[in-house]
Amino acid sequence: MTKRVPVPLKNQEEASIWEINNLPALEYCDLHRAAKLLDCKVDDLLHWAEIGAIELCLKFNAFRASIKSFELNTKYRNNPKSWIKEKIDSGVLNKYITNDYKQLSLLQFILGPIKIGNDGNIDQEYCIESSFPSPICHIFGLWGLISNPHDNLFSVLQSSKKAQVTALNLQLKAADEELTVDSIRVQPVWSELYDGFTELGNPIGPAPIIFIITPSDLFITRKHIEQIGRYRGKLIPSYINGGVYRPESEDSIKEHGNVEASAAKREAVYQAAIYWLKHDPSACKGKRGDLTIEAWAEKIISEKNNPKAKIELGIDKVKQCLRVAISGKN
229 and 282 fall within a common domain: no
239 and 306 fall within a common domain: no
Residue 198 banded pLDDT, cuts 50, 70, 90: low
Q: Average pLDDT over the chain, rounded to whole? A: 83
Query: Is 214 contained in some domain?
Result: yes
The pLDDT of residue 258 is above 60: no
236 and 282 fall within a common domain: no
Question: Residues 42, 46, 47, 49: is their CA dihedral positive or negative?
Answer: positive
Query: Is 4 contained in some domain?
Result: no
Structurally, the chain folds into a number of domains equal to 2
Q: Per DSSP, what are the bridge partners of residue 142?
A: 59
Among residues of the chain, what percentage have pLDDT more than 90?
Answer: 38
The pLDDT of residue 223 is above 70: yes
232 and 293 fall within a common domain: no
Q: Which helix (H) or strand (E) holds 31?
A: helix 31-38
207 and 112 fall within a common domain: yes
Where in the sequence is the domain holding 321, given as residue range(s)? 264-327
Please give the pLDDT value at position 199.
59
18 and 96 fall within a common domain: yes
Please give the pLDDT value at position 57.
98
Indicate the range of 15-19, 99-103, 138-142 predicted with least confidence: 99-103
Residue 142 banded pLDDT, cuts 50, 70, 90: very high
Among residues of the chain, what percentage have pLDDT more than 70?
Answer: 85
| Final residue in a domain of this structure, among 247, 280, 307 | 247
Please give the pLDDT value at position 256.
27
Query: Is 256 contained in some domain?
Result: no
235 and 269 fall within a common domain: no
Please give the pLDDT value at position 64.
95
Range with the largest mean pLDDT of 25-29, 87-91, 92-96, 324-328: 25-29
Return d(Cα 283, Cα 303) in angstroms, integer. Answer: 11
Roughly what angle, to the nearest 10 degrees, separates helices 31-38 and 42-50?
100
| Final residue in a domain of this structure, among 188, 216, 247 | 247
Query: Is 6 contained in some domain?
Result: no
Question: Residues 185, 189, 193, 195: is their CA dihedral positive or negative?
Answer: positive
298 and 200 fall within a common domain: no
195 and 220 fall within a common domain: yes
Q: Are 106 and 174 in contact (CB under 8 A)?
A: no
Query: Is 172 contained in some domain?
Result: yes
Return d(Cα 264, Cα 170) in angstroms, integer. Answer: 15
Which pTM was predicted?
Answer: 0.70
Return d(Cα 34, Cα 39) in angstroms, integer. Answer: 8
177 and 46 fall within a common domain: yes
Residue 6 banded pLDDT, cuts 50, 70, 90: low
**Residue 29 phi, psi (nearest 5):** -160, 170
177 and 56 fall within a common domain: yes
Encode pLDDT of 110-122 as tens digits: 988 777 767 767 7
201 and 56 fall within a common domain: yes
